[in-house]
Amino acid sequence: MSKENKSLKDLQHSIIQFRNERNWQQFHKLKDLLLGLNIEAGELNELFLWKDDKEIESVDKVKTADELADIFIFLTYISEHFNIDLGEAIEKKIEKNAKKYPVDKAFGSNKKYTEL
């Protein structure tokens, strides 16, 4: 099994298929999907709370990977709700960010584009 070239769409398709097989669409109201996203972000945060740089690096990578995946799953549900092409959205956002943060102005700066 080569994971190297897995497309975003294929991953999202697997997630939606998993859901539909369980007939969970009925529960997937948008505001619940948003709450779910916040919950998963909180669970990711919790892995690192109070930890210093060294302790952060010894947190179980599998747990971290699982939480990141959970966040992606909710991203997928929300994209699907609005029929948004997430891959396209990401590419367009990178283009927009490139205009907001041109290399010559943004290089090495932690300022927001409104303050550059």
CB of 54 to a copy of itself, least distance (A): 12
Tell me if 19 sits within 8 A of 25, measured CB to CB: yes
Residue 76: Cβ-neighbour burial (10 angstroms; 0-12, 13-18, 19+): buried
CB of 36 to a copy of itself, least distance (A): 6
Gyration radius of the chain over CA positions: 18
Q: Look at the block and give the residue holding tokens 């990141």.
A: 68
Q: Is 68 in the site for a copy of itself (CB under 8 A)?
A: yes
Candidates 87, 99, 113, 115; binder of a copy of itself (CB under 8 A) is 87
Give residue 93's identity as a one-letter amino acid code: K
Restricting to residues 18-47, which ones interact with a copy of itself according to CB under 8 A? 18, 21-24, 26-27, 30-32, 34-46
CB of 9 to a copy of itself, least distance (A): 7
